[in-house]
Amino acid sequence: MARLTKRTNRRDEAFLKAYELTGDKKLAAEQAGYSVKSIYRYIREDAAFAERVSEIEYSEIAMIEASALDLAVNGDIDYKSLKVFDKSLGKEVSKIVKIHRRNGPMMQYLMDRKAPKKWDKETIKQEMEKEKDYDNLSLSDICEDLFSTLNALQSVDAKAEENED
């Protein structure tokens, strides 16, 4: 049978501080001079200690969730060098641009967790089936749509040329 570790308030505080910093019960227990078995026993037997451990775990979960949301929405920031033509200099120059690489799988995971019924595959499939079926359009409808799109693009180009002059 293993020797029981003498429990003290100082060791408890050392464990809690180390656990808050590392998130690792085993490492925190070792730093405080406890065994992991002792920590789990203290959690079972001491409601106040268990509450403090639970608060640390909750804050870790909240921090991870916030980081996951930030990664999904804002993405990782990366930088890329592009060659662009500078009209004022009359030559090609390098320009560094910031790129946000959003994390699609993280977005999907978070949406599945936040609104599971809205984002399951069957619901999405049903919504897509409700969409207009473009395969059944007549040739004249397709041509009319393309013609109106082309006219809109030409009017944008004409306005852009007027603004350049």
Domain ranges of the chain: 9-64, 74-131, 133-165
Phi, psi (rounded to 5 degrees) for 126 = -65, -40
What is the C-alpha to C-alpha distance for residues 74 and 102, in angstroms, rounded to an integer? 6
Number of Cβ atoms within 10 Å of the Cβ of 121: 7
pTM for the structure as a whole: 0.51
Which residues does 79 contact at the CB level (< 8 Å), separation at least 6?
Answer: 96, 97, 98, 99
pLDDT band at 1 (very low <50, low <70, confident <90, very high): very low
What is the C-alpha to C-alpha distance for residues 45 and 85, in angstroms, rounded to an integer? 71
Tokens 């599945």 correspond to: 112
What is the C-alpha to C-alpha distance for residues 88 and 144, in angstroms, rounded to an integer? 42
Report the percent of the chain where pLDDT is more than 90.
33
Residue range 83-129, pLDDT digits in tens: 888 888 899 998 888 887 887 788 878 887 777 777 667 776 777 66
pLDDT band at 160 (very low <50, low <70, confident <90, very high): confident
Tokens 């967790």 correspond to: 113
- Assess whether pLDDT exceeds 60 at residue 3: no
